[in-house]
Amino acid sequence: MKKFILIITSSIIATGLISCSTDNSPQPEPMPKIQNSDTLKSGWVQSSLVLSAAGSFVPTLFDNAIFTADSEGDIYKLDPTDGSIINQFYVNRDLSSGTGVSGGVVFVTTKDAYLLAVDKGSGKVRWQAQLPTVSIEAPQATSDIVVVRTNDAEILAFNINDGTPVWSYQKPIPPLTLRVKNSFQVIGNEVVAIGLPGGKLALLNLHTGTPIWENYIAVPEGATDLDKITDIGMRPVLDNKIMCVASYNGKIACLDAISSNVIWQKKFSTAQGLVIDQQNVYAVSQDGIVYAFDKATGAQIWQNKTMQYRNMSIPVILGNGVLVVDNDGYVHMFNRNDGQEVARISTSLSGGVSYPLVRDNGVVFQSASGYVALIKNY
């Protein structure tokens, strides 16, 4: 008999909603006034999409166009210069995630647990493959393989031409896990890095699914299943043979990507993600504090608590700043050197946003409220 797995969202835990009462839940302080020494602006906004699960639909750049989708089954091809719709297809299926793109195909998953390969010229479904359970994480595709992750933490690879299964990878998982939407990263055309429930990180051969290495970033601790949640709910980040990652209720760490040896680690909790530049690792903790750590040593460079308890997004680098979006749609920019907030704008990107698409002229986000927007720094 298949073991029942309870999946919960990290935001439920973070806001205290898993308890019977929320009266004592921490509340954010009023946002402080800032001088706006830098300038943020919405370059363009596309509002044709419907409400969709935050983070499950990720805009993807391919052949100088942005592809994305929404939960009602529409797939969009957008002009990256102004956000206008170049093409739009309706696949007549309720979608749970998207999009991956390779060659002439757009990949999405459905709420009845299928992976669809949709012709990006005609909108016709070329093939479909049934998944063991639903996937709420956007597929990622290379020139010959598309990779998906299902809700029970199984990773599957399919041939992009005909949907033939290539390999699958799954490890035993705890009885209580997070509902994650950004947990793996295809790197080049060689490997895929995967964050797993229980604090394990794995690097797999992309073409065979064979583990190159597996390592625990954090070990579950505590008296109850809730206490023991230590999932990696973010895409591992690779930078010059250093891989950095963080877990919920566990640690943030940087490893040697070749050997998996831990270079440094610190106690930390997040399911949002992190970003790296030449000197630092930037991360947002589960309670909304923005941190910078020295990439080589893990020493804390700065922290900013002004947006604590505001359900912040994964950070992304834009110019000399670190950009995050809060649940109300405010976009905040923090100076990379000292952590001071230097710019803030109100946008339509409310309800949570996707993994960011970084462009030369800005960052593209898709929100749960049905908007796709380009945020620019002048």
Q: pLDDT (tens digit, 9 = 90+) per residue, 40-66?
A: 999 999 999 999 999 999 999 999 999
> What is the pLDDT, as a whole number, of residue 10?
52
> What is the pLDDT, as a whole number, of residue 83?
97
Range in 129-143, 216-230, 268-282 the model is least confident about: 216-230
> What is the pLDDT, as a whole number, of residue 13?
47
pTM of the model: 0.92
Angle at 285 between CA 202 and CA 367, to 5 degrees: 85
Q: 274 Cβ partners below 8 Å, 6+ apart?
A: 234, 237, 244, 245, 246, 252, 281, 282, 283, 284, 314, 315
Across the range 237-263, mean pLDDT stands at: 95
Hey, is 174 helix, strand or coil? coil
Across the range 248-265, mean pLDDT stands at: 95
> What is the pLDDT, as a whole number, of residue 2?
38
Across the range 210-222, mean pLDDT stands at: 91
pLDDT by residue (tens digit) across 60-100? 999 999 999 999 999 999 999 999 999 999 999 999 999 99
pLDDT at 23 over 80: no
Give the pLDDT band (50/70/90) at residue 9: low
pLDDT by residue (tens digit) across 148-190? 999 999 999 999 999 999 999 999 888 888 888 999 999 999 9
Range in 12-16, 57-61, 355-359, 372-376 the model is least confident about: 12-16
Q: Mean pLDDT in the chain?
A: 92
> What is the pLDDT, as a whole number, of residue 229?
87
Asked whether 178 and 9 are in contact (CB, 8 A), the reply is yes
DSSP state of 143: S
Across the range 351-359, mean pLDDT stands at: 95
pLDDT at 326 over 90: yes
Give dist(CA 85, CA 87) in Å, integer.
Answer: 6
pLDDT at 230 over 80: yes
Give the pLDDT band (50/70/90) at residue 360: confident
3-class DSSP string for 34-59: CCCCCCEEEEEEECCCCCCCCCCECC
> What is the pLDDT, as a whole number, of residue 39?
84
- Residues forming a β-bridge with 211: 204
> What is the pLDDT, as a whole number, of residue 19?
35
